[in-house]
Amino acid sequence: MSRSQRQTLDDLLRHGPLDLGGDVAEQRAVFHDMMTSLPLPADVLTTAGELGGVPVVTVGTPADDPATVLLYLHGGAYAIGSAADAAGLAGDVARRAGARAVCVDYRLAPENPFPAAVDDALAVYRALLDGGVPSSAVAFVGESAGGGLAVATLVAARDAGLPQPSSAAVFSPWADLSVSGDSAVGKAAVDPALTAEGLRRRARDYLRDTDPATPHASPVFADLTGLAPLLIQVGSHEILLDDAVRLAARAAECDVHVELQVWPRVPHVFQAFAAMLDEADAALRAAAAFTRAHWAATDADDVSGEVSGEVLPGGKESVVRQ
């Protein structure tokens, strides 16, 4: 992997215009401009629609398997971003997984505080199931706040009596809205994109008076028993490193199949930079392989969930160090 690639990306993010803790309206515009500055590849198709009363954008390529679905949850600290803004990264995941991605345009804070995002994500998942898509053909994917939201939605689905999807892959998940992990301080100097102060401001917008330790808001504090197999990817140069590590430990404690991949010296949601960073492409391919493997396993009745109704045994945890 190239040191010069990592340095170029670090410089780009460190001197970029985005201030996650800044004025919401301004930063939404900045984020949109950043995410749409490059056109989508010609073979990536996007279609706006609605599922369960929630706006969605379906992203895919002509080679996608129509029988499989990625339920994709975008980042932006619950206050910034949109399904359309996420189309580029969702398309990168969809292409490698060979499935269409349904990006959820969940309601944003501060206009729509907790639990609006969880309610919207769960409504879309329920609509997919009600529309005839088996849970074994659905995989969750999320990045940053969307990564934490993906796991929170798994918990909410279990609590609502819905079957788990085949798997979930989350990139740099924001899973602790109290921002209490040691890396919030310990990794501050090397994180070019996020600040603990900015995250805390957005957490206040989203939570208002809700306790940050509420399980459907911060899944590091949830009982994760019975959740789908989980892949967690994180960079070592980000203040949310401990969110990923603690989430993996919590999943393992609850007997969930979990794989933790720590990619050294790369920043928050580095997967979004596959065009310029070798690690990003490798991580996306690993996430797609994980997703495909669990689709195949559910087809063969080898993974717990809707087929067997049992919790996957063991607590697998692996760390990738490139």
72 Cβ contact list (under 8 Å, min separation 6): 59, 83, 86, 90, 93, 101, 102, 103, 104, 141, 142, 146
With beta carbons less than 8 A apart as the criterion, state whether 58 and 100 touch. yes
DSSP labels for 262-311? EETT--TTGGGGTTT-HHHHHHHHHHHHHHHHHHHHHHTT-S-STTT-SP
Q: In what helix (H) or strand (E) does residue 54 lie, and over which residues does it extend?
A: strand 54-60
Active-site residue among 82, 135, 136, 144? 144
Q: CB 74: neighbour CB atoms within 10 A?
A: 28
Active-site residue among 268, 279, 304, 306? 268
Q: How far apart are CA 315 and CA 313, in angstroms?
A: 7
| 259 token code pair | 């794989």
CA dihedral (242, 236, 274, 80) positive or negative: positive
Active-site residue flag, 268:
yes
Angle formed by the axes of helices 3-14 and 278-299, to 10°?
A: 100
Q: How far apart are CA 238 and CA 189, in angstroms?
A: 9
With beta carbons less than 8 A apart as the criterion, state whether 118 and 45 touch. no
DSSP secondary structure code for residue 180 in this structure: -
Active-site residue flag, 144:
yes
Q: How far apart are CA 213 and CA 1, in angstroms?
A: 38
With beta carbons less than 8 A apart as the criterion, state whether 56 and 124 touch. yes
Q: In what helix (H) or strand (E) does residue 184 lie, and over which residues does it extend?
A: helix 183-186
User: Closest Cα partner for 128 from 136, 170, 61, 231?
Assistant: 136
Active-site residue among 135, 143, 238, 294? 238
Active-site residue flag, 294:
no
Active site residues: 144, 238, 268
